[in-house]
């Protein structure tokens, strides 16, 4: 991240704003005390003007703070949305659960600036203790310190509970969505087995558990609010009682008594705001770690197309050093289950390496496998993926790959979901055509030769062999599409 766009660049400004708001709040509390003392002495005009200044200043400060945090959040969202493509292609640790919805992580981290403001204001508001000591002595200040010491662990506990419930809710929500999609995709099989009620009951059970978690989250939030309001009220009440007795004995002026009470209230306002948002700050920090930690694959503008140093995947123990430049042909071969696909995924950055480093030039890469998806869009949209192409060029490539006839002559024909109705060989050739039309620098073929009959295998072989500038990595058990290669790799 560059300093100009990194969310961390706004952190010093957030702390400065939080500190300024806390100091301004304490100053306005003192001004409010002075205004009320003027009213008590019958100086109505001056007192009303002073209170109006306090109210107007607080409104302006709140509006200014909201505007700054809104802009900071917008800048953070814009930054991460610009780099979403690179975030999506970064690997996860092997066997780990998904990091969740990236858009949700971006929303969480976009609130970091506002939460830094709250954190800074809560810490700076502690200066109010000095004002309480000056105005009402050490007893009142001791009461405030004691209740703050009691409040902080309660805030942290409530925040941790909220964070735990929030994480459980997100996990349950992700499970519900995954099971819904899974059951929908297998609805015909369930219907044929007469097990539709089973699927519906499972969805209902997961949904009910989600509702229970939501209710628990509401209870945690309410209990947290009650704790914060109770402690703030007790603190202000005890300080008011102490200064009230001092007023009765004539040992303190009304102005000093009001300063002590209002400053105590102001101090707890800042602490309470931060306490309520504590778990949100933890979520923001966790989201920032998720978005910043995706750096196992190093992308560069220069150097070889692909380079692996001391690479060990999670499917094998053999260390691999590999360097692939323009036009090179690499064959990855070995028996089924030896880790060929895992090696390809690691080289592409889709899986994290167990050891070693993978560096890849920031260039176009085409990947072709039996699992490569097709969209429920037209044949044209599936092939060109939004890029400008000459229809004649597209038809010629399809013809060269043996994709002819009524199903492939009309480019506006809409494919069924994920290419349903196509043979595995036709799917692979369509995906290969899409990859070649993207003008890749590197073409990765994951065990697709066996899906083609000899005639179509020869067609595909001729097409890829004429693309001499493209580097190709092919994984296969026995029959490769490549007729010549510069290196053989055995995982």
CATH number for the domain that contains residue 456: 3.40.50.300
Q: Residue 364 corresponds to which tokens in the numbers above?
A: 């176009």
Question: In this structure, is residue 74 part of a structural domain?
Answer: yes
Same domain, 158 and 110: yes
Do 222 and 264 lie in one domain? The reply is yes
Q: Domain check: are 314 and 331 in the same one?
A: yes
Is the residue at 217 inside a domain? Answer: yes
70 and 169: one domain?
yes
**Among 8, 102, 10, 83, CA closest to 290:** 102
Q: Does residue 429 lie in a domain region? A: yes
Tell me which residue has tokens 């999670």. Answer: 314
**Same-domain pairing of 329 and 306:** yes
Per residue in 90-140, pLDDT (tens digit) is 544 444 444 445 566 666 677 778 888 888 998 899 899 999 999 998 998
Decide which of 239, 264, 292 is a domain's last residue.
292
Cα(172)–Cα(207) distance, integer angstroms = 9
What is the per-residue pLDDT for 93? 46
Taking Cα atoms as reference points, which of 461, 453, 451, 460 lies closest to residue 483?
Answer: 461
Are both 388 and 476 inside the same structural domain? yes
Domain that holds residue 435: 297-489
Residues 248 and 323 in one domain: no
| pLDDT the model gives residue 304 | 85
Q: Does residue 58 sit within a domain?
A: yes
- Return the number of other C-beta atoms located less than 10 Å from residue 37's C-beta: 19
Provide the number of structural domains found in the chain: 2
**202 and 234 part of one domain:** yes
In a domain, 253, yes or no: yes
Sheet of strand 320-324, all strands in order from the earlier edge strand to the far edge: 297-300, 355-361, 306-312, 320-324
The label of the residue with tokens 């260039």 reads 363
Is the domain of 278 the same as that of 305?
no
pLDDT of 115 reads: 82
pLDDT at 484: 85
Examine residue 32 and state whether it is found in any structural domain, yes or no.
yes
Same domain, 182 and 311: no
Domain stop point among 268, 292, 316 = 292
Note whether residue 108 is domain-resident: yes
221: CATH: 1.20.1560.10
Phi-psi region of 170 (alpha: psi -120 to 50; beta: other; left: phi over 0): alpha
pLDDT < 70 positions in the chain: 1-9, 80-108, 152, 155-228, 276-301, 417-418
Residue 30 and residue 169 in one domain:
yes
Of 270, 292, 314, the one marking the end of a domain is 292
- Is residue 418 located within the same domain as residue 273? no
Strand order in the sheet with 442-446: 365-369, 442-446, 471-476, 329-333, 487-489
Position 2 in a domain:
no
């Amino acid at each position: 991240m560059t300093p100009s766009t990194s969310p961390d660049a706004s952190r010093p400004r957030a702390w400065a704003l939080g500190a300024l708001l806390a100091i301004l709040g304490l100053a306005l509390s003192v001004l409010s005390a002075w205004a009320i003392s003027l009213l008590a002495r019958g100086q109505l005009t001056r007192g009303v003007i002073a209170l109006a200044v306090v109210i107007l200043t607080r409104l302006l400060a709140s509006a200014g703070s909201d505007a700054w945090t809104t802009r900071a959040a917008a800048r953070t969202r814009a930054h991460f949305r610009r780099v979403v493509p690179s975030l999506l292609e970064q690997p996860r640790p092997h066997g780990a659960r998904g990091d969740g919805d990236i858009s949700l992580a971006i929303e969480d981290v976009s609130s970091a600036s506002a939460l830094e403001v709250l954190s800074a204001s809560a810490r700076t508001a502690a200066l109010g203790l000095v004002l309480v000591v000056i105005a009402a002595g050490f007893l009142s200040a001791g009461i405030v310190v004691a209740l703050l010491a009691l409040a902080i662990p309660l805030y942290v506990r409530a925040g941790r509970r909220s964070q735990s419930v929030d994480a459980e809710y997100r996990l349950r929500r992700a499970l519900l969505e995954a099971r819904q999609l899974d059951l929908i995709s297998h609805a015909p099989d369930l219907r044929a087995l007469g097990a539709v009620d089973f699927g519906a009951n499972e969805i209902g059970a997961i949904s009910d558990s989600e509702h229970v978690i939501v209710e628990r989250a509401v209870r945690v939030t309410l209990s947290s609010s009650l704790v914060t309001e109770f402690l703030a009220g007790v603190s202000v009440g005890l300080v008011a009682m102490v200064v009230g007795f001092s007023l009765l004995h004539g040992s303190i002026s009304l102005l000093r008594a009001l300063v002590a009470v209002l400053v105590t209230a102001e101090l707890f306002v800042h602490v309470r705001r931060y306490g309520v948002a504590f778990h949100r700050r933890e979520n923001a920090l966790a989201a920032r770690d998720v978005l910043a930690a995706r750096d196992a694959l190093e992308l560069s503008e220069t150097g070889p197309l692909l380079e692996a140093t001391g690479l060990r995947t999670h499917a094998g123990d053999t260390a691999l050093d590999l360097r692939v430049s323009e036009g090179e042909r690499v064959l990855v071969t070995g028996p089924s289950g030896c880790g060929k696909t895992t090696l390809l995924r690691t080289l592409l950055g889709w899986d994290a390496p167990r050891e070693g480093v993978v560096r890849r030039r920031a260039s176009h890469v085409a990947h072709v496998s039996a699992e490569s998806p097709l969209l429920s869009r037209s044949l044209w949209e599936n092939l060109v993926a939004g890029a400008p192409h000459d229809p004649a060029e597209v038809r010629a490539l399809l013809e060269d790959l043996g994709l002819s006839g009524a199903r492939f002559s009309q480019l506006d024909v809409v494919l069924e979901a994920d290419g349903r109705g196509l043979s595995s060989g036709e799917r692979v050739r369509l995906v290969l055509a899409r990859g070649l039309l993207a003008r890749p620098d590197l073409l990765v073929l994951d065990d697709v030769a066996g899906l083609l009959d000899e005639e179509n295998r020869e067609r595909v072989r001729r097409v890829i062999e004429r693309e001499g500038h493209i580097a190709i990595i092919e994984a296969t058990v026995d029959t490769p599409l490549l007729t010549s290669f510069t290196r053989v790799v055995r995982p």
